[in-house]
Structure 1
Amino acid sequence: MQQLSAFLRTGALVFGGGHVVMPLLEHSLVPQGWIGLDQFLVGYGAAQAVPGPMFSFAAFLGFDLQDGLHGLAGALMALTALFLPSFLLIGGVLPFWSALGRLRMMRRALFGINAAVVGILVAALFQPIWQSAILGRPEFCLAITAFLLLVCWKQPAWRVVLLCAVVGGLVFT
């Protein structure tokens, strides 16, 4: 039940997109030993290659947890627990959304929330991704190349991921 609670709490705190889920789930699951950091990062990376990555990631984590939730039932329960709070919130707030959007205090709060989301995303890039993936100059060069391919040369993400996988397989093995 503690694992299910971790997914529910994370789902209740998410604002700003799926990538905000990653540091929250990592903080809830890895220190307790429910899943190892390496396995967590493998699941996160694999989920990025498919549509709906947070659905895939939640199901992966629920399936692979060490104690309590695991297997197909764990995957379904983790998936439901992660997304249930947002569905309940939408149902509860939707009737008042227009009125809330007109309140200056609510607009100011959303600016603060958006700034916090950017901070969480930067923190997630640094820990655990940067600290566990960029181990030296070769990894740094590959990361910069991938960034340039995506941002400057507007290459599709699938092509950049495939190129990095091939280069990583050739250089880092």
Structure 2
Amino acid sequence: MKYLIVGLGNIGSEYLGTRHNVGFRLVNGLVDDAGAEFREERYGAIARCRIKNKEAVVLKPNTFMNLSGHAVRYWLQKENIPVENLLVVVDDLALPYGTLRLKPKGSDAGHNGLRNIQELLGTQEYARLRFGIGDNFSRGRQVEYVLGQFTPEELSALPEKQKLAVEIMRSFCLAGMQITMNQYNHK
């Protein structure tokens, strides 16, 4: 069985380490844990790794966040992966910092990357792992906040959160959605 795990983010040095790029950071942990490496291919950086008896194709789109759906659709089709085996890893303003939530489907909740994926796949029925970045910004400062750097306190907590996210991604592939949600969504 093959899975497509997509970390959302923006390419370019000006976005490196921003809250909006936490999807890239979390899938980096999965790839590092598997001893694999990313290679530049069509629509993004791709890594192929084994998770026990499963194959994971890990994607960091190079299309910029708002056009992520092009990369996701291409790699699902190229690798012949069903949408049920897609997991999108994304930042979420609605969750407190560091909260991880696995969902089997849902709206884009105002996230432009998820909106584009939904439009191009024609469905909201795909899994997403949401990483809470909090909403500690004043009115009108949302863009500045999501494109801003993590605070020192947030950065110090990030390695432990990344480790948990890797466990969730691995469990999604090995145990499935329901078991993984039951095990991790309460933490």
Normalising by structure 1, what TM-score?
A: 0.28
If asked which structure has higher relative contact order (CA below 8 Å, sep 6+), I would say 2
Q: Which has the larger radius of gyration?
A: 1
Identify, as 1 or 2, the structure richer in strand.
2
Identify, as 1 or 2, the structure richer in helix.
1
